[in-house]
A and B are shown apart, each in its own frame.
Chain A
Amino acid sequence: MYSFIKRKIQYLNVPGKTADNAENVQEIMLTKNIQRNLASFSGEMGVDNDVVIRNFTFGRNNSVQAAVLYLDGLTDKQQVDKNIISQLLKNNTFDRDCDIKDIENYLASSGDMYLADSVDSMIGSCLSGNAALLFDGFDTALIIGCKYWEKRSVSEPQTEPVIRGPREGFTEDFITNLSLVRRKIKSSSLKAEFMTIGKRTKTKVCVLYIKDIADAKIVETIKGRLKRINTDAILETGYIEQYIEDFPLSIFHTTGYTEKPDVAAGKLLEGRIAIVVDGTPFVLTAPRLFAENFQTAEDYYVGSIYGSLIRILRFISYFIAIFAPAIYVALSTFHQELIPTSLLITMAKAREGVPLSAFFEALAMLIAFEILREAGLRLPRAVGQAISIVGALIMGDAAVAAGFVGSTIVIIIALAAVASFVVTLQIESVSILRLIMLFLAWLFGGYGIALGFLGLLIHLSNLKSYTVPFLGSIAPAEAKAMKDVFVRAPMTAMNTRELPAASGDADRGKGKRG
């Protein structure tokens, strides 16, 4: 039966139909007439916009007519002035019969250069921030790389703050992000493979992996899936994630993300693959296992005993976050006999006179909490804090005082809510699972919770993250891999790569100190 459902899910799971990259539109080739070329360029791009066209003549007796095309705001104007136009104006040897290679050679100091022979490719280059140089009498355009735009400097990431550890975070700039990773891993085996996804956005995507660690099969799988994405826009890694995941409909994400270069580097060194996407400070890492949700970069920077304690705490918090409201409802409506008498009487007294039943009480509080969380999240920080104070103090306290809800449920929901913030990576699944468990507890009591838990386990063990079992190293259990799951073993003990994905070079060094 599960295989049936699984097949249904997998049916929906084909990541994009094979893209037919062969465009039907016939390409407009460049001609030797500069005016015609400019006309066809303007015909495509339009006039009176951010396109800058600068005409000038240069060469022997100013015999060569030329034009520089670029987009305002994407290109470094100073560079165009100083390194291209001024350079060419200084020259008086070129004429219409010289080779374009000579001009390219002459301008070698201006930046990286290549030739384009169609209007489309020229436009494409301009849209990426390059300057295109057209000459009368030549049917090729010289593309000169002088991209420059405003960008955010490297700053501390908001999502993954640390007490100890590097504070730099990825930015929206693609090349900066790559360089941040490169600076962590100075190895020639760190491979970066570029591709462009999105018919309209033409987003640059880079697949990063360490060649002799990462499993070639997984690298191929990911590259293949990326290539098959057929969409017109990629604005964030979230788009890509949903296109290439094995089970896009699951509430569990099987692709990880991070905003911190040290985390990305750590994942790469474990044999994972990183996907850098232009325009977002988030970098995808894959495959991502269930246990990774409970790991943070700081686990590895603090002592192993404290690291292990915190990690166990995270697992406990995860379970509290999912099951606390459900267990409360099940115990208080089905299994009163399981609560110690004195606690039961206290709980019953708190419920006395409350108009809602235990389930609706819990549901109302849960929904109130989710509303508060969402409200606090989207508002500016200063207002957001006010919201949480109003929500927590006024709603919680006043609701109890007014007798709308019992005080016990406020404690339970608060506990579950705080616990869910411990495992931030799973906040989506926790919110959903908590509601499911609550419903099951309401309808079927403890039996429902057991059933829900069983279903959850079945689902988790069915999940795969890029051919690797999602529950990897827990189920199928591997004793050796356990040293980085529930506990964080000392650095000296973590001398092998245990990720199922890591095929090559399993040895991390003999684990000797110093």
Chain B
Amino acid sequence: MILITALKRIALIFFTWFTVFFLSACWDRREMNSISYVLGVGLDPCTEKELELTLQVAKMEETSKSSQGRGGEGSSQESEDGKAFINLKAECGPIFSQVRKLNKQYGRKPFFQQNYAIIFNEEVARRGLKKYLDFFLRYHETRQNVWVLVSEGMARDILSIEPKFEKIPAVKIDKLIHNQVSLSASAGVKLIELVQKLENKDIDPLLTLVKKESGDQDEDIVTIEGMAVFKHDKYVGSIDKVATRGYLWAKGKVEGGIINASIDENSFCAVEIKKTSGKMKVKVGEDNTVSVSIKAKCTGDLGELKGFEGVGVKDVIKAAREGASKVIEDEIKAAFEKSAEYESDFLGIGDYIRRHDTKKWIEIKEGWYSMLPGVQLDVKAEVKIDEIGEINKLENPPS
């Protein structure tokens, strides 16, 4: 009897430890030098339906040699092209099989967890994103917070620029997005946000727009400005940074930037945005007429004044407030007009109606896109000036 109890106990201990160690653990050990770190993904069209994948991976040998090279600061160790990245290109085909093919070809497994950006070529975006997103959503290595962008021109060209400050284009793009978001010239869209909007059929997504421009000193510049407008999951056109900020005002997502307000021909003032809020309200009338009211609030500082000589402080502030409010109102109107033009409800008016007045929404849902141009807009912006800067004498500034 005692023996059986002892045996039972030993078996219990054995199985407990067995379970603890073997049924649960972090799976799949791989050495750091057996994988290639994907930092950016570009998707370009090749045939009618298929895509061509460009993977930007960090290049390993180059700096390792120069960091270990004990001679002359690695100068003799420059590799052929001196780049810190390689763009791997696969053949036309389904995305996953391309990834695997690259794996075979280069001997290192692409590792997607450190990916910064997925860039869709506009042509691809026009075909609709859903079918191409499937791989990224299904694959366990994709991070949900990776940036999704639309490129004017080939995505692989965007990924092969040679940035001056960063070593890797994908990192440059990441920094640019952060910068542009802080200036409200564009908005960064993460994969998770895109998917949420695609899943919610009553709101259309916007994606960050990226394009390559030739710069002055024979260097290529990547600019991130404005947004790509989608109808459902299909790219329909783009909006510039004015309309982009209008969209951000309406959503209360403006993070910063400058409002340049021309008061009249001679005078001009710049207000630096500090704190903002925005609210959108939608009303559906008895006769199914939709009216939208957007209220935006902004607190800012005076950044620059021109042509206000001899005007009192209070008057200047009043003028600046009015001027800046008008700019904001115009921006929101611009966004709204674009929404009507592309028949894309990226402002989420339909979504608002569905959540607040579901019955009406079911009635008007069918012809909603054609109703968009007819929606009445009422915009009100309010600007407060906090500080007027380091100088307070507006006339005769110290010379």
| A interface residues (Cβ-Cβ under 8 A, vs B) | 1, 4, 330, 332-337, 341-342, 344-345, 347-354, 357-358, 400-401, 403, 407, 442-448, 451
Contacts and interface: CB of A to CB of B under 8 A. Distances in A.
B39 interface: yes
Interface stretch (B61-69, B294-302, B303-311): B61-69
Interface residues of B, number: 33
A60 B28 CA distance: 100
A336 B39 CA distance: 13
25 contacts: A1-B9, A1-B13, A336-B37, A337-B113, A337-B114, A337-B143, A341-B37, A341-B116, A341-B171, A348-B33, A348-B37, A349-B63, A351-B31, A351-B33, A352-B64, A353-B64, A354-B33, A401-B68, A401-B70, A407-B68, A443-B25, A444-B21, A445-B29, A448-B25, A451-B20
B26 interface: yes
Given A345-B58, A446-B26, A400 B111 contact: no
B12 interface: yes
B35 interface: yes
A8 to B, nearest CB: 11
Closest 8 CB pairs between A and B? A445-B26, A337-B113, A352-B64, A444-B25, A349-B64, A352-B60, A334-B26, A348-B32
B336 to A, nearest CB: 38
B24 interface: yes
Given A336-B111, A401-B68, 14 more contacts: A1-B13, A336-B37, A336-B114, A337-B114, A337-B141, A341-B39, A348-B32, A348-B33, A348-B58, A351-B33, A357-B31, A401-B70, A447-B26, A451-B20
B30 interface: yes
A403 B68 contact: yes
B16 interface: yes
Nearest to B36: A348
Contacts of A332: 31-32
A401 B20 CA distance: 41
Contacts of A353: 33, 61, 64
A333 B29 contact: yes
Contact of B12 (A1, A401, A403): A1
A349 B60 contact: yes
Interface of B: 9, 12-13, 16, 20-21, 24-26, 28-33, 35, 37, 39, 58, 60-61, 63-64, 67-68, 70, 111, 113-114, 116, 141, 143, 171
A1 B16 CA distance: 9
A358 B32 contact: yes
A350 B111 contact: no
Nearest to B60: A352
Contacts of B116: 341
Contact of A336 (B9, B64, B70, B113): B113
A4 B60 contact: no
Contacts of A347: 32
Contacts of B60: 348-349, 352
Contacts of B30: 333, 336
- For the residues of B in contact with A, the DSSP-based class is mixed
A385 B63 CA distance: 35
Contact of A344 (B28, B31, B114): B114
Contacts of A349: 60, 63-64, 67
Contacts of B58: 345, 348
A468 to B, nearest CB: 29
Nearest to A397: B70
A350 B58 CA distance: 13
A466 B13 CA distance: 29
B25 A447 contact: yes
A341 B24 contact: no
B32 to A, nearest CB: 5
A501 to B, nearest CB: 34
B32 A333 contact: yes
A445 B31 contact: no
Interface centre among B60, B64, B67 (most CB of A within 10 A): B64
Contact of A341 (B20, B35, B114): B114
A47 to B, nearest CB: 61
A351 B32 contact: yes
A341 B174 CA distance: 12
A333 B37 contact: no
Nearest to A454: B20
B79 to A, nearest CB: 12
B274 to A, nearest CB: 30
B117 to A, nearest CB: 12
* Most B-side CB within 10 Å, residue of A333, A347, A352, A445: A352
Among A337, A342, A349, A448, the most chain B Cβ lie within 10 Å of the Cβ of: A349
A404 to B, nearest CB: 11
Contacts of B141: 337
A376 B114 CA distance: 43
Contacts of A352: 33, 60-61, 64
Given A348-B58, A400-B68, A444-B21, A4 B9 contact: yes
Nearest to B143: A337
Nearest to A455: B20
Contacts of A357: 31
Nearest to A446: B26
Contact of B37 (A335, A344, A350, A445): A344
B360 to A, nearest CB: 46
B351 to A, nearest CB: 33
B4 to A, nearest CB: 15
A4 B30 CA distance: 37
Contacts of B32: 332-333, 336, 344, 347-348, 351, 358
A10 to B, nearest CB: 16
A335 B29 CA distance: 9
A84 to B, nearest CB: 68
Nearest to A448: B25
A336 B35 contact: yes
B237 to A, nearest CB: 33
B16 to A, nearest CB: 6
A101 to B, nearest CB: 66
A440 to B, nearest CB: 9
A448 B21 CA distance: 8
Contacts of B171: 341-342
A401 B71 CA distance: 11
Contacts of A443: 21, 25
Contacts of B35: 336
B31 A358 contact: yes
Contacts of B67: 349-350, 407
Nearest to B35: A336
A334 B29 contact: yes
A445 B143 CA distance: 20
A34 B63 CA distance: 93
A444 B113 contact: no
A353 B113 CA distance: 23
Nearest to B20: A451
A442 B60 CA distance: 24
Contacts of B16: 1
A459 B193 CA distance: 46
A403 B33 CA distance: 14
Contacts of A330: 26
Contacts of B61: 352-353
A344 B39 CA distance: 12
A393 to B, nearest CB: 14
A444 B26 contact: yes
Nearest to B39: A341
Of the listed residues B9, B63, B143, the one surrounded by the most CB atoms of chain A closer than 10 A to its CB is B63
A335 B31 contact: no
A2 to B, nearest CB: 10
A350 B64 contact: yes
A16 B150 CA distance: 78
A296 B24 CA distance: 42
Contacts of B25: 443-445, 447-448
Q: Which of B20, B24, B114, B141 has the most chain A CB atoms inside 10 A of its CB?
A: B114
